[in-house]
């Protein structure tokens, strides 16, 4: 390995000058300093910025310190406080649709992820937009940055295709170490649905084993550092996509990490929710008058649990908190590495969660998981969090994680699609907390704008592609504009028949009735529309469709336009998720 790395560095030195020239010819340019005259063109002598995406899996809105958490996240808090935090950043309701939008700037339906892998309804099978992979109808950010001379690296969760021809290797990543499925064990190849092994691929090759000391957050970070370090002397910038599998179930963490939170949650999820909401108000991220969404009627109050139930529930949250803390620890290692090679100041960092916190009773809402649990794992109290346990923390802890918002992952209400996110780049102007509506589709246009690359439009390397529908945040981040989406612009979502449209302060949501866990809707047509005014009711407590029938119909017409524009096919049956 040492000889191989030395050889790579020798080649890097030999070709570094050529690479730098190519970067200048491609027109890539660094973001102008905030003091630079806006009328002057960027200085081509400046080194193009590195780009780093850090994505957490199922992290809730309040799970970082800067968003109201008691979990210590000093490294991520530092990035957020010295960058631009978003309070209205929107994703898809679940992971792979969000990732498709992040990497393409295109709605998840035309990008090929209209539903999740192996979750198609009969009427969606074989239809455009439901290929269950990141389709070649889109050009990825990795492909375009690679064309512009960037090194491109990916480690962590892919979830956008299992075969070589739809792997990170095939979609623009020069090096990759990818967990291909929606989740897996954090210490080994334990699949989320078995039997067998969780699928991993490094570059072209499927893996049969992982290192003995594998722990997902640590390994993915160190692998990213190795990839950057292998080529750092050739003078070319890098794009890194670090996609943690934490805190996706199964909840697992090293014993020493869990021990840091021993006893922290003994007073339960209701008390934690109250503290998180109070902290959001203290941070000016939530108005004093805003009422949080209540605990689901099907969920017991903490005081109604037995002593043994409380003990087990508290341990569940200790494991969850340990996983978040570990993400922060390893992000700190990456920051330290970037500083050691003098690249931290020249790296544009985007941090986000891929959706809201996971609140489903996974073992009952996904039948295959329930059947697998009978074979795979030991979930006794003594074994909780270890490599052969398989845990998730449920709706009441998820309510604490999303804070005041309605519902959680899988829903198009605010708790499912409003996520913590921020950008960090020392050359940015703008404000620390940005309240404008931003979507995950806006990230790729921002990066292309930053480095001076035009999107290819309708064709790319001989194939037809879909143009981006996201918008660049760069003028807003530099303080030139207050927003990127106009008040009359409609933004839409759909997954598993749950739908939403937001236009300005108005939002319509179509989802199951409130008794979600006890009343199953066999078809999505059974869902009903609700209308909310987010300026007055950001937590979607009060359906005002009865008082505003004309507005409801106007919003439904906007939904019809979104549905047609993006090729949405409402499923004729839905999974229990």
| Active site amino acids | 95, 159
Closest Cα to residue 235, out of 545, 512, 11, 516?
A: 11
Q: Is 332 helix (H, G, I), strand (E, B) or coil?
A: helix
Q: Would you report the helix, strand and coil content of the chain in percent, each value rounded to 5?
A: 35, 15, 50
What is the rounded CA–CA span in Å between residue 324 and residue 257? 10
Say which residue the tokens 């439009």 belong to: 457
What angle is formed at CA 322 by the lines to CA 409 and CA 89, rounded to 5 degrees? 35
What is the rounded CA–CA span in Å between residue 440 and residue 438? 7
Chain centroid to CA 463: 28
What is the rounded CA–CA span in Å between residue 151 and residue 27? 16
What is the rounded CA–CA span in Å between residue 15 and residue 9? 10
In 426-551, DSSP assigns E strands to 433-434, 438-439, 459-460, 463-464, 490-495, 498-503, 506-511, 528-533
What is the rounded CA–CA span in Å between residue 114 and residue 90? 17
Q: What is the CA radius of gyration of the chain?
A: 23
Contact at 8 Å (CB) between 50 and 239? yes
What is the rounded CA–CA span in Å between residue 324 and residue 73? 8
What is the rounded CA–CA span in Å between residue 505 and residue 502? 7
What is the rounded CA–CA span in Å between residue 409 and residue 415? 7
What is the rounded CA–CA span in Å between residue 185 and residue 245? 9
Contact at 8 Å (CB) between 284 and 434? no
Exposure class string for 356-368: b at 16+ Cβ within 10 A, else e: bbbbbebbebbee
Half-sphere exposure of 255 (CA within 13 A, CB side): 3
Beta carbons within 10 angstroms of residue 444's beta carbon: 26
What is the rounded CA–CA span in Å between residue 392 and residue 316? 7
Closest Cα to residue 567, out of 114, 137, 95, 122?
A: 114
Closest Cα to residue 410, out of 352, 491, 356, 354?
A: 356
What is the rounded CA–CA span in Å between residue 527 and residue 267? 36
What is the rounded CA–CA span in Å between residue 64 and residue 37? 36
Instruction: Look up residue 299 and give its two tokens.
Output: 């969920």
């Amino acid at each position: 390995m040492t000889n191989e790395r030395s050889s790579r560095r020798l080649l890097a030195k030999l070709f570094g000058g050529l690479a730098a020239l190519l970067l200048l010819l491609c027109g890539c340019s660094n973001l102008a300093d905030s003091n630079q005259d806006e009328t002057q063109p960027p200085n081509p002598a400046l080194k193009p910025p590195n780009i780093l995406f850090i994505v957490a899996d199922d992290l809730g809105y309040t799970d970082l310190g800067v968003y109201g958490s008691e979990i210590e996240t000093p490294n991520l808090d530092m990035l957020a406080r010295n960058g631009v935090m978003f309070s209205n950043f929107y994703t898809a309701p679940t992971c792979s649709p969000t990732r498709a939008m992040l990497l393409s700037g295109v709605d998840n339906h035309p990008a090929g992820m209209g539903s999740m892998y192996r979750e198609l309804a009969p009427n969606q099978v074989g239809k455009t937009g439901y290929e269950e992979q990141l389709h070649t109808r889109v050009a990825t950010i990795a492909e375009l940055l690679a064309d512009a001379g960037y090194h491109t690296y990916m480690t962590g969760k892919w979830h956008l295709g299992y075969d070589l021809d739809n792997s990170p290797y095939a979609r623009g990543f020069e090096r990759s170490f990818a967990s291909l499925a929606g989740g897996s064990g954090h210490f080994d190849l334990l699949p989320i649905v078995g039997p067998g092994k969780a699928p991993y691929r490094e570059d072209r090759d499927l893996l049969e084993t992982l290192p003995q000391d594998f722990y997902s957050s640590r390994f993915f970070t160190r692998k990213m550092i190795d990839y950057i370090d292998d080529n750092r002397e050739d003078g070319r910038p890098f794009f890194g996509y670090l996609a943690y599998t934490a805190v996706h179930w199964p909840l697992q963490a090293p014993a020493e990490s869990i021990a840091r939170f021993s006893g922290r949650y003994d007073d339960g999820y209701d008390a934690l929710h109250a503290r998180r909401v109070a902290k959001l108000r203290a941070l000016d991220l939530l108005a004093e008058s805003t009422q949080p969404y209540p605990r689901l009627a099907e969920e017991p109050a903490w005081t109604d649990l037995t002593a043994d139930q409380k003990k087990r529930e508290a341990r569940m949250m200790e494991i969850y908190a340990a996983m978040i803390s570990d993400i922060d620890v390893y992000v700190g290692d990456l920051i330290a590495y970037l500083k050691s090679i003098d690249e931290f100041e020249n790296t544009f960092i985007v941090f986000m969660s891929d959706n809201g916190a996971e609140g489903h009773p996974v073992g009952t809402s996904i039948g295959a998981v329930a059947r697998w649990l009978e074979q795979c794992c030991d979930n006794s109290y003594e074994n909780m969090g270890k490599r052969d346990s398989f845990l998730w923390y449920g709706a009441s802890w998820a309510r604490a994680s999303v804070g005041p918002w309605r519902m959680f992952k899988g829903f198009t209400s605010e708790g499912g699609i409003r996520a913590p996110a921020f950008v960090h780049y020392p050359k940015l102007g703008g404000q620390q907390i940005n309240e404008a509506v931003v979507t995950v589709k806006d990230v790729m246009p921002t990066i292309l704008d930053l480095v001076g690359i035009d999107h290819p439009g309708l064709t790319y390397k001989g194939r037809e592609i879909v143009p981006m529908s996201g918008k660049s945040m760069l003028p807003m981040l530099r303080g030139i504009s207050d927003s990127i989406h106009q008040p009359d612009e409609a933004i839409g979502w759909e997954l598993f028949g749950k739908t939403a449209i937001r236009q300005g302060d108005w939002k319509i949501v179509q989802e199951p009735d409130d008794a979600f866990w006890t009343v199953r809707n066999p078809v999505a047509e059974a869902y009903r529309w609700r209308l909310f005014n987010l300026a007055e009711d950001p937590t979607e407590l009060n359906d005002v469709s009865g008082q505003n029938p004309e507005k409801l119909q106007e919003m439904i017409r906007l939904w019809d336009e979104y549905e047609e524009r993006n090729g949405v096919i409402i499923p004729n049956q839905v999974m229990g998720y």
